Amino acid sequence: MDIQKFADSVGIARDYIDANGQYTVITPEARLATLSAMGYDINDEEALIKRALTEEITPYREIIDPVTVLRDGERHFITIRTEESLGLPERHAVLTWHLTLEDGRTFSDSIPLEGVEIASFDTVQGKVYDTRRFILPLELPSTIRGCLPYGYHHFKVEIEAPALGTSYPAVHQISTEQLLVICPSRCYVPDAMRSGKKLWGASIQLYALRSRTNWGVGDFNDLKNLLKIVHDRGGQFVGLNPLHAGYPANPDPDMVSPYSPSSRRFLNIIYISIISVPEFLSCKKARDLVMSPAFVKKLQALRDRDYVDYKAVLDLKLKVLHMVFDMKRMLDRRSIRGKKFLDFIHQGGESLLNMATYDALQQDLYNAGVNAWGWKKFPSEYQDCNSPFVAKWREKNQEKVYFYCYLQFLAQEQLDEAYAAAKAEGMVLGVYRDLAVGVSEGSCDVWADTDNIYRGEAEVGAPPDTLGPLGQSWGLAPMEPHALRRSRYKQLIELYQANMRSCGALRIDHAAGLYRFWWVPPHHKAVDGAYVYNNIHDWLGILALESQRHQCLIIAEDLGTIPMELRVALKEVGAYSYKLFFGERAMDGGFIAPQDYEPQALSALTTHDMATLKGWWSNYDIELGKSLGIYDKETAERILVDRNNAKQRILDSLHGLGSVGEDVPRDASLIKEMTPALTIGLERHMCRGSCALFSSQIEDWIGVLKPVNVPGTFREYPNWRRKLTVNLEDLDKDSFVRELTAEMTAARDEK
């Protein structure tokens, strides 16, 4: 067989346009390695041919596809495949269709098969098939919108023909049941933004918040308070790092990246505010422990640290939460609290129980001395989520499993409350969440993958670009697009639903993944990967549906190697683009005026992967890069030359557009450090821009020097741990913060 042609058929790209606009060919070797990583045995041609033939014929045997996604503006038809060589006269064949709407209503009807339009004739494995287009009824009794309602419906067909002598035996074919997804054409946008209002908000790594009440890590109570502070100063949202579930049992201080989670459908329990837990408030024993001098001393030490000590924080929180958790009381439906908890478990279903089981089992294994950092390090009998051994362990350790369900319950409850408070205050967006690219290979999501979607041997990454000249590999397991479609997008739907809860906006990290992912096969360098295409039509349709249902704005992080067709599709579906000031430069090296940015976008000066304003202007990031071995002397000198030029071009732009006054020198060599006037000028400069949204990092309000994360490092730098330098309670009292945010609000309101 032509294996390269087969790679084409499963969606492995042959080429692409890189971030510099250069045409790039993917090597045949990389394509074959990616095909293997997708689960195909490229070393056994006979087995590969057999599987290829099975996959080729399956759509025709099943009559209809496992899922059809239809969007507004598209002709609503379902593809039906019938075998022409059955020899049945069409006029005697009848097609009966059955439709079950999401709300349970059912509809069915029968029509002559010959009345269904034939779109094409396909010859597959020696047989001829009619590919037909069944037009969905424009109106059904009791439906809304005059057509099918938005949502997840179920559709199937039967084809019957009576026996007409020995030449035409009776035919009775039943299709598989199809998930029929009816979607809007565009994502949700709040009325205020649709009417032209331009908003600003603050961005922060939640764990980095300091306060006098938290336990050494920012928590959901801090978030609630920060939302009010930002709103009182004129802001309309607070952007956060991914809140996804981590690994509470893992003692490794470096395994804390919010972008390499255990599950993207559940929350990181470290953000639970103990003092806000009802069971803590009613438990005298727990309160006495927390108020004891020794415990108070430990808490203060954790608050005083410049970097989050995740393990120490979790040890204290879990100790108290174990004390307040009473399984019998929480499972008692007679109480309001028990009913709420049981409803949460019911809604979470199998996914929640798997998450809780994973955390409880991993903790047990660590307690037994097993370095169980991921499920592949579990004893073999526990490596299959659905094994009878796991079921038996779960039954035997029911209280431990319910305890971790309880922790997810508390985390979700507190996030819900923070968002509800923000909306009650009148914030247009409130919480702005972040959806990470994927999960690590040892994660709960991969362990509990009963649909065989994840390919844990390969890694998601990016091809070479300016920021990563050797390519990037992120240690995240890719989802195989064909398996995802066969599963009727179950995990994708759950993922969007979970992450659009309790927020007014959702950032899709590495939005290029909506169209294609860069797969890095096992034992390959990041540069030797290949693109695998996803079904962007279906992904964007489901994204728009959930966006409208949750009234959640979508922001697509479209930086890096983004093909034009994806940019067009994102704009058409109503997703907002992402514009970074330091990346928006003209051909001559100057900085593009923010007034010339795409309006349907969020703009920002810096992000968590970049230097802070203070660190950038002082060149601290360059010196840090040299000390960490990221830059050699020659590279650092080249960056410094460009940096000095960039500083001057920035000042030219700021003065030219009137964003700063004469209190800011026109000569960049005269400004050695970031000044208050220059900070205000930069923030004002961006707020005057055309983008509908502007996000400002709180680090830049208070002059934080050190970065959150240094890309390209792991243990060399304490990534994802650095805290703010000011307590939350003091932030709003700071006169400079008040002046800065007042200027930002005024600039956003300028016409």
Dihedral sign computed on CA atoms, order 381, 383, 385, 390: positive
Name residues whose C-beta falls within 8 Å of residue 496's C-beta, 6 or more positions apart in sequence. 542, 543, 546
Pairing of strands 237-240, 199-204: parallel
Mean pLDDT (whole number) for 103-112: 92
* Distance, first Cα to last Cα, the chain: 64
In the numeric block, the tokens 């923030």 are attached to 683
Q: What is the pLDDT of residue 316?
A: 98
Q: What is the pLDDT of residue 167?
A: 58
Give the confidence band of 173 by pLDDT, cuts at 50, 70, 90. confident
Residue type, 232: D
Are 255 and 523 in contact, with CB atoms under 8 Å apart? no
Runs of H (alpha helix) within 368-518: 388-396, 398-425, 444-447, 481-486, 490-499
Map out the domains of the chain with their CATH numbers.
Answer: 73-183 (2.60.40)
Residue type, 731: L
Q: What is the pLDDT of residue 144?
A: 46
Residue type, 261: P
Q: Residues 386-417: pLDDT tens digits?
A: 999 999 999 999 999 999 999 999 999 999 99
Measure the CA–CA gap between 566 and 445, rounded to whole angstroms. 27
Which stretch of 265-274, 371-380, 463-472, 601-610 has the lowest confidence by average pLDDT? 463-472
Name residues whose C-beta falls within 8 Å of residue 48's C-beta, 6 or more positions apart in sequence. 1, 3, 6, 40, 41, 42
- The token duo for 424 is 């009650």
Stretch (H or E) spanning 656: helix 633-656
86: pLDDT strictly greater than 80: no
Dihedral sign computed on CA atoms, order 368, 374, 375, 378: negative
Give the confidence band of 162 by pLDDT, cuts at 50, 70, 90. confident
Mean of all residue pLDDT scores within the chain: 94
* CB half-sphere exposure, 678, CA atoms < 13 A: 23
DSSP state of 589: S
Provide the strand spans (E) within 450-591: 459-462, 472-477, 505-508, 516-520, 530-533, 553-556, 577-580
| Percent of the chain residues past pLDDT 90, beyond the cut | 88
142: pLDDT strictly greater than 60: no
CA 260 vs CA 410, 432, 673: distances in Å: 22, 19, 34
More confident residue, 174 or 508: 508
Are 360 and 403 in contact, with CB atoms under 8 Å apart? yes
Q: What is the pLDDT of residue 92?
A: 77
Mean pLDDT (whole number) for 32-46: 95
Q: What secondary structure, in 3-state letters, does 138-160 show?
A: CCCCCCCCCCCCCEEEEEEEEEE
Measure the CA–CA gap between 112 and 140, rounded to whole angstroms. 19
Dihedral sign computed on CA atoms, order 162, 165, 168, 172: positive
